Amino acid sequence: MKAITAVEYGGSDVLTVTDRNPPSIENDESEVQINVDAAGVNFADVEQRRGNYPEGPSPPFVPGLEVAGTVTAAPTEASIDVGDRVAALTSTGGYAQIATAPVDRTFRIPKSLSTREAVAIPVQGLTAHNILHEWGRLGSEERVLIHAAAGGVGSLAIQLAATAGAEVFATAGTDTKLDIAKELGADHAIKYSETNVAESVSARTDGKGVDLVLDGVGGNAFAESIEALAPNGRIVSFGMASGSIPTVAVPRLFFENQSVIGYHLEHAFEHVPHRVYTAVPDLLDHLHAGRVKPIIGETFALTEARAAHDELTNRETVGKVVLDP
């Protein structure tokens, strides 16, 4: 089979098209084998490739945290059957024509979703729902600030928040991305490249601020988020796409009764899987009903993985970035 291998840590040029034997689930009762129709591309893949991902794989390895496709082999007693259309978390190995995934991280997908849309579920769909609800505890009629609003997580989080009745503030760096955010349900669109986010939020809330912030950017975005946060508010920090690690002075938090909550999908699955799985029925119901729809920004051939990484790193993409094996 064809696969993309990171032959060493480094830039996108370390991603190499290789021929490999398909991964097998022989004698493994915990995994399924999947014929991959779509592989998701995420910032975590870029960080693994660079060697910056905590507990990440060592080269040579096949990147890719998520796939969607058809099950070609499954354990006898598994809840997933051969022939099922599924989306799955793979941890690694997704950039390939055939992949394996744990049974308990593999989900049947609604017939109403294409596999390209479904590949947005395992990482970005679960993350968006978890950081809004299971970790962020979003209440109806609360205000939420969502950074990188036109990205994979952001575009889904806007729709989920709007569906829940929240007032949504969205940030992005271009007018095109802000237009997408508004089309998805954002009430307020803020161009962070030209406007101080905290000042804009203050002006639009009569100085009250927002109740919840979803921050996968870090750096200056996190600093402005603290300033935009209402008393008793909370920030869910789930990434640092800016490359800058966010920090906060504790006195600000306890004087305003605020909180910063960390979220990492892989570790959440490892330590509190029941909290992650809580999102699945509601998320699939929204997707099936059409209340939430993944935005597919661009699809690359598997052999174009380098270009996919470069565009993602340069923030040239919107929605879900997909590789087509």
Instruction: Delineate the domains of the chain, giving CATH numbers in brackets.
Output: 2-120+294-324 (3.90.180.10), 124-266 (3.40.50.720)
Kindly indicate the confidence band of residue 163, based on its pLDDT and cuts at 50, 70 and 90.
very high
Strands 66-73 and 31-41, bridge-based pairing:
antiparallel
Task: Count other C-beta atoms under 10 Å from residue 41's C-beta.
Answer: 30
What percent of the chain lies above the pLDDT cut of 70? 100
Summarize pLDDT for 271-289 with one digit per residue, the tens. 999 999 999 999 999 999 9
> Which DSSP state fits 280?
H
247-275: average pLDDT: 91
Kindly indicate the confidence band of residue 29, based on its pLDDT and cuts at 50, 70 and 90.
confident
Q: Which residues contact 124 (CB under 8 A, 6 or more apart)?
A: 40, 42, 152, 153, 156, 294, 320
Summarize pLDDT for 92-121 with one digit per residue, the tens. 999 999 999 999 999 999 888 999 999 999
162-187: average pLDDT: 97
Average pLDDT, the chain: 94
- pLDDT the model gives residue 252: 82
